[in-house]
Every structure is written in structure tokens, then in C-alpha cells.
Structure 1
Amino acid sequence: MRERGAPLGRRRHRGTAIARPTGGRPVTSSGASAVPAGTASAPVPVADEAYDYTYQTGMYRDGTPGPLGAVVPCVADQDEWFLRRYARAFDDLSSDLRIGRFPTPTCAAEEIALDLAIQDAERLHHDEDELVADLETELPASRSDENWDTLQGVLFQDKDYEGLLSYRIPLERDEAERSFEEFDNVPPRDRHRGFRR
């Protein structure tokens, strides 16, 4: 029997879309930049960990989840096809950032990826001062820099996905697949896009 409040138990349609800027860094309703400097590359290390876990390469040859927690426990036992698409969710968000758009999740898998990328960027910012300083030298400062709560409030439509971050019971295949169901109020990703790895 499934625990009460188990993730993805029901799928509700999103009622409102997130406004997007026409260029530059995403902004809050007050016009301030919502994305702290240095977060544009944040999804990449987590994506690399997810790909390494998928292909059992690098330090993940034994199938052990990595230190960044890129592959959440409830989907860690899914097949390679699922895990490749899951890893690509991080890359899709990174692509959004590279072209100056909000990293806008189009499905629950991308919401998970974005949350984990934000957590990793925050950790990096606190633990790797010199590295962060080097990454930020070319970026303009913003009063929203280091405001991780603002990111959580601005970039997500809701927090329905959060139960999956710590859910330890493996999801059934059909339930896990629902994490890729596209939201109806966000433009879908190109179905013919490839995989970085």
C-alpha cells in the first residue's frame, strides 16, 4: 500500500504560466534579477553526475548514487532510457539559462532537476569561495545574489514535486514515467533534441 501523500499520486494541471523576460537574467515582480550570479552553469555538474550514474561510469561504476544526490532514490532503479531522459532534464534547464531565459521546468522531472541544481549551486557558493569568485568575475552583481529563497519562489509554479526529493521507496515504472508528462501551460521541449552523452 502506498504511503499517504506519495509523490505523483495525482497529476493536477497547472493553471498559470510563469512570465518570462525577453532577455537577460530572470526578474522578480519588483524588477530585480532573480537568478544569482554564477547559477547559469549550476545544472551541469549535477547533470554529469546523473549521466555517470546512468552509464555507471566515473566514480559510479558500482551504481552507488553520487555525492550531489543527482539521482533521487525513488527513481534510482529505473532503466537506462528513463535515467538518460532524467539526466537530460538538467541539460534542458542549463540550455534555458545559456540563452538568457528562466530555467522553466516543463515536467516534474525538470522540477526535481532544477531544485537539485539550486541546492548544488547554494552548496558550491558556501563551500567553494575561490571557485565561485572566479566564476562570478565576469558577471554583473545583483541584489538577489545569494538569495536562494527567491529562486525557489520565482522559478517554480508549485512544490508538488518536493515529495520525490526524499521519497525512498522505488516508484513503479508507470508512476516514474509520469514525471515526464508535460505541463499544459509551458511550451514543450523539442521532441527531437538529442542527448549530450
Structure 2
Amino acid sequence: MATECGVAAPAARSFDDLAADLAAGEWPQPRCAAEEMALHLILRNAKASVADGWAGVTETTEFASLPEHAEDFDWDTLLDILFQDLDILGLFNAELDGIEDPDAEQNQWIGMGDYRPSAWFELFSDLQPRDGRRPFRR
């Protein structure tokens, strides 16, 4: 059985763990379905925030001090870089209802794995677990 991604595995922990990756100077690396979904939500909201000019995202001192690059705001490239696959997005396609079950034919065909709610916090088999002693905000 896979190790859990987080102790007690609350969804908020997924966002905190990804933020901790960034704070440590690392790419955010989803280690379970909950973190994978959290990162999709973060990127979707970041894209909308930048497009709307929300809170001066592009004018912050930290951002403005970085050199410009032709691929700045290339959201599609981020999807390729930050995710092993985009299987989890199939959960939001009504035509794929039931795909979260590893016994479903479509799930097996693409090798999706277990995306049922009870498995969202199970560590992906090819990744190392996070430190179980890491702090948790209350």
C-alpha cells in the first residue's frame, strides 16, 4: 500500500507542501493526486490573476527584478514541465464518468491509476514521501 502524501492528509496541506517546495528553491512537485489538483488550481488562478492584473502581480518588486524571457507566462509549457501527465483533468469530463476507478476500462487503457477520493492522498509510486515531521499550520 502506498504511503500517504500528508499526515492526516488535509487538502490545505497539499497547497502548503507545494508552497514549501517553492520556498526551498525547488519546482513544485506533486506527490499525490491532492497536490496535483492543488497545483492545477494554483496555475489556473495565477493565469487569471496575471490576465486581470490582479494585485499588481507583474509589478511586484520580486517579479520585476527578474530578467524577461520569451516564455514568460507560457502556461502550457508549465503544464508540460510541472506534471507527469494530465490524467486528473479527466475527472472533470462528464463523458469520462467513472474514470477515477482503476478497474474502469478507460482508466486501464491510459494507465491512469486510482483517482477515487479515498486515494487522493496516497503517494505516487515513483516519488519519495515528504518528511512526516514537517510542520503544519493550524
Q: One-letter code of the match for 1:150?
A: T
Aligned mates of 1:183, 1:130 — CA distance in 2: 35
Deviation at 1:118, TM superposition (A): 0.4
Gaps of 5+ in 2: 1-7, 101-115
* Structure 1 residue 102 corresponds to structure 2 residue 45: no
Are the equivalent residues in 2 in contact too, given 1:93–1:104 (CA < 8 A)?
A: yes
Output the CA distance in 2 between the equivalents of 1:97 and 1:140: 18
Number of aligned residue pairs: give it. 111
Aligned counterpart, 1:158: 85
Indicate whether 1:138 and 2:74 are aligned. Answer: no
Quote the sequence identity (%): 42
Q: Give, in angstroms, the shift of residue 128 of structure 1.
A: 1.6
1:147 Cα deviation (Å)? Answer: 0.2
**Would you say the 8 A contact 1:108–1:161 is kept in 2?**
yes
The alpha-carbon distance between structure 1 residues 162 and 131, as it changes in their structure 2 partners (threshold 3 A), is same
Unaligned stretches of 5+ in structure 1?
Answer: 1-80
What TM-score results when the alignment is normalised by the length of structure 2?
0.69
1:123-180 deviations in whole A, cap 9, x for unaligned?
110002661133222333222211000001111001121134577x9x9xxx312011
CA RMSD of aligned residues (A): 2.5
Q: How big is each residue's C-alpha offset from its partner over 1:14-43, in whole Å with a ceiling of 9 and x where there is no partner?
A: xxxxxxxxxxxxxxxxxxxxxxxxxxxxxx
1:185 aligned residue (108, 126, 135): 126
**TM-score normalised according to structure 1 size:** 0.50
Cα distance between partner residues in 2 of 1:176 and 1:140:
41
Instruction: State the partner residue of 2:47.
Output: 122
Q: Give the Cα–Cα distance (whole angstroms) in 2 for the partners of residues 122 and 101 of structure 1.
A: 20
When residues 166 and 98 of structure 1 are mapped into structure 2, their CA distance, relative to the original with a 3 A threshold, is farther
- Cross-structure match for 1:86: 11
SS in 2 for 1:161: helix
How far apart, CA to CA, are the structure 1 residues paired with 2:15 and 2:32?
12
